[in-house]
Structure 1
Amino acid sequence: MKTSTRLDIDHLPRISLLDGPTPIQHLWRLETRLGKALAGVRIYIKRDDHILFAGGGNKVRKLEFLMGAALADGCDTVIATGGLQSNHARLTAAAAARVGIDCELVLGRVVPREDIEYEQNGNILLDKIFGAKLHILDRGQNASDFVYERAGKLAQAGKKVAVIPMGGSSAIGALGYARCAEEILAAEIELDIQFEKILIPNGSSGTHAGLAAGLSALGRSADMVRSYSVLGEEEATTTTTLLLANGALDLLGCDRIRSCAIDICGEHRGAGYGIPTDEAMDVIGLLAKAEGILLDPVYSAKAFAGMLHDIRQGAFKPGSNVLFVHTGGTPGLYAYRSEF
């Protein structure tokens, strides 16, 4: 396959929420701490938590295309759904405020926590500050049914509504991480290195799907990406990721990939979504003390712990370079105060 340096993507509707590429840092202090356990593997981190908009995180890239599509369709209202501490909900509220349209958030109790920090702090506090209208569902209430019923009522009232999928994970949303793949390959040239693997958490699958699609479209192997599932079972997550990646490739006018190109590990999820693991909590402290970088207990810490486990098990070539994409979620730390 011919290698390209640019995606044919500029014709698609998009709003600008990023101020250029996010930085890549070499975690040499962490490497010094871990020493021989790394077998010479060098760890780099792409700071998508460093995005300046609304607390940052991976959903910003997806929302550039999702909000662009909504505005191009003439929408004046967006509805997004997620858990009480959804990073995607927080950033959708901020993006809607930025472009001057209404935002409603349908938030479900999908994590077995009812403490005051989880119910009132972190992302849910920011949702309110950004001006979103919140609908807090009872445990077990069907969010999808509520969303489409609410969208129907708003349409009857004369509103033009865009329903944004959970996590911003659709073929359109995945294009945000196809562009990120373009950034990463450009950084390889600038830094004069090559990454053996790109490592990420996988919740609703759009981030992995976008990176896989972007790499494939640019002539690199989609299995350069390895993700660690924090939400679904490994097999189901693989199916969803492949579906989204091929949807994004269709939009890019590129050949589809097969399931063997999707590399997902389901061994570090723990008891379930939003439930911290001991190894994730340990890694939060490790990286904070070594590098001054904060991970979150729901997504990035579980994936970072998975990456370190794989390095220690010899999954990557000695002396190779790996890139961890920090997907953000720092506001969620404040919802988990009791865990610390």
Structure 2
Amino acid sequence: MTIESAPKLNLSKFPRRTLLEGPTPIQHLPRLSTHLGGVNVFVKRDDLNGLGGGGNKLRKLEFLIGEALAIGADTIITVGARQSNHARLTAAAAARVGFKCELVLTRAVPRFDSDYLGNGNILLDDLFGARVHDLPGSANALQFAEERAKELRAQGRSVYVCPLGGSSPTGCLGYADCAAEITAQSSAEGLSFDRIVVPNGSGGMHAGLVAGFVALGLNPSFVAGFTVYGNAEQAHSITLDKANQTARLIDANLRVDSDAISIDEGQLGPGYGIPTDSMRAAVRLLASTEGLLLDPVYGGKAFAGLVESVASRKYLAGQNILFVMTGGLPGLFAYRSEF
């Protein structure tokens, strides 16, 4: 990622409700970089947002809430797993703008301990005033949400339904905007990144970044995603589709090529939300060297991928690697027994 000057990305035609306090900082991690043998690790601190405990989903929600306000909604419904960070931040954003909020949460992760079922994000969902629908893991959450929306509309409510992870093309605009933010910060600091490392769950953050870099006229292939939800083939297909939808939303003439999407499934382990030894080691490494906290579902696994990439010499001493810290701190409390 070599940038001579900072190109602009104009998203002003899209409704938006500000939820962030401004650009999130990029910070160098010197002790970790030394520990990893001289690879220069930087972090994009998307965990440092005050609303709702912070996290990357707020970027998507700026555009999703903006769209909901534009159509006159008074209620928002979204879906996710029981410890969904997106659901928690949707509830917080709804409280901020005065919406009613309902969360359709499935028990998609096979955990039944009291911490997972009652602590972490689920505790905060309740504090933010959201109504939680607790569904089994096999349930079609989005179908339930649409049916619930029909019920509420019949009662006179105006309902906005938000997909898994907020990863609609509208939501992905939040990370197209982040691509422009990273580009501007890189230009201002004279930095050039060899890789940008992200977790890939519902694919929206990865897709948005790729679409944003394409819209800026930059090569997006340096964005490296570590899937935490499906296998690499599934994640690639979903992310490519969302990147193209988002790019066309920005400019109908834009197109994202298949080779622009880089997905690694090596840190997925047994499946979504299921801890791995490498995740535990990565969470402890970043905490003990830099005092920074990763969540066990998304950031922990992706950061484990970064560490493994250094160990296998995919990333070399002297290279600059940017890791996007997505937040999700409440998840650590839900997974207390794993540490």
After TM superposition, the score normalised by the length of structure 1 is 0.96
- Counting only pairs closer than 5 Å after superposition, residues 286-301 of structure 1 correspond to structure 2 as 286-301=285-300
Find the aligned partners of 1:83 and 1:335 in 2 and give their Cα distance. 13
Single out whichever of 116-125 and 318-327 deviates more from structure 2: 318-327
Do the aligned partners of 2:244 and 2:256 also contact (CA within 8 Å) in 1? yes
Find the aligned partners of 1:234 and 1:202 in 2 and give their Cα distance. 10
Q: Does 1:81 align with 2:83?
A: no
Find the aligned partners of 1:246 and 1:61 in 2 and give their Cα distance. 19
Instruction: Report the 3-state secondary structure (helix = DSSP H, G, I; strand = E; otherwise coil) of the residue aligned with 1:195.
Output: coil
Find the aligned partners of 1:142 and 1:17 in 2 and give their Cα distance. 29
Find the aligned partners of 1:177 and 1:262 in 2 and give their Cα distance. 15
> Which residue in 2 is equivalent to 1:275?
274
> Which residue in 2 is equivalent to 1:224?
222
Residue by residue, what CA displacement relative to the aligned partner does 1:172-197 show, whole Å, maximum 9, x if unpaired? 10000011111111111122110011
How far is the alpha carbon of 1:318 from its aligned partner?
3.7
Find the aligned partners of 1:65 and 1:242 in 2 and give their Cα distance. 20
Residue 269 of structure 2 aligns to which amino acid in structure 1? G
Do the aligned partners of 1:4 and 1:219 also contact (CA within 8 Å) in 2? no
> Which residue in 2 is equivalent to 1:48?
46
Instruction: Report the 3-state secondary structure (helix = DSSP H, G, I; strand = E; otherwise coil) of the residue aligned with 1:215.
Output: helix
Residue by residue, what CA displacement relative to the aligned partner does 1:122-150 show, whole Å, maximum 9, x if unpaired? 00000000000111113422212211111
How far is the alpha carbon of 1:87 from its aligned partner?
0.2
> Which residue in 1 is equivalent to 2:12?
10
Instruction: Report the 3-state secondary structure (helix = DSSP H, G, I; strand = E; otherwise coil) of the residue aligned with 2:210.
Output: helix
Do the aligned partners of 2:26 and 2:42 also contact (CA within 8 Å) in 1? yes
> Which residue in 2 is equivalent to 1:156?
154
Q: Does 1:332 align with 2:328?
A: no
- Counting only pairs closer than 5 Å after superposition, residues 1-340 of structure 1 correspond to structure 2 as 5-35=7-37, 40-253=38-251, 254-340=253-339
Q: What root-mean-square deviation, in Å, do the aligned CA atoms of Structure 1 and Structure 2 show?
A: 1.3
Residue by residue, what CA displacement relative to the aligned partner does 1:260-311 show, whole Å, maximum 9, x if unpaired? 1101101111000000100110111111110000011100010001011112
Find the aligned partners of 2:248 and 2:36 in 1 and give their Cα distance. 42
Residue 284 of structure 1 aligns to which amino acid in structure 2? V
How far is the alpha carbon of 1:4 from its aligned partner?
6.0
Find the aligned partners of 1:5 and 1:176 in 2 and give their Cα distance. 17
Residue 146 of structure 1 aligns to which amino acid in structure 2? F
Find the aligned partners of 2:6 and 2:236 in 1 and give their Cα distance. 26
Unaligned runs of 5+ in 2: none
After TM superposition, the score normalised by the length of structure 2 is 0.96
Find the aligned partners of 1:152 and 1:3 in 2 and give their Cα distance. 49
Unaligned runs of 5+ in 1: none
How far is the alpha carbon of 1:328 from its aligned partner?
0.8
Find the aligned partners of 1:263 and 1:59 in 2 and give their Cα distance. 21
Provide closer, same or farther for how the CA distance between residues 184 and 247 of structure 1 changes in structure 2, counting only shifts above 3 A.
Answer: same
* Identity, % of aligned positions: 53
Instruction: Report the 3-state secondary structure (helix = DSSP H, G, I; strand = E; otherwise coil) of the residue aligned with 2:160.
Output: strand
Find the aligned partners of 1:293 and 1:33 in 2 and give their Cα distance. 15
Find the aligned partners of 2:320 and 2:5 in 1 and give their Cα distance. 21
How far is the alpha carbon of 1:44 from its aligned partner?
0.3
Find the aligned partners of 2:16 and 2:43 in 1 and give their Cα distance. 26
Instruction: Report the 3-state secondary structure (helix = DSSP H, G, I; strand = E; otherwise coil) of the residue aligned with 1:49.
Output: coil
Do the aligned partners of 2:105 and 2:133 also contact (CA within 8 Å) in 1? yes
Find the aligned partners of 2:188 and 2:254 in 1 and give their Cα distance. 28
Residue 22 of structure 1 aligns to which amino acid in structure 2? T
How far is the alpha carbon of 1:312 from its aligned partner?
1.9
Find the aligned partners of 1:3 and 1:82 in 2 and give their Cα distance. 39
Do the aligned partners of 2:5 and 2:187 also contact (CA within 8 Å) in 1? no
How far is the alpha carbon of 1:314 from its aligned partner?
1.8
How far is the alpha carbon of 1:317 from its aligned partner?
4.6
Find the aligned partners of 2:191 and 2:132 in 1 and give their Cα distance. 46
Find the aligned partners of 1:139 and 1:217 in 2 and give their Cα distance. 38
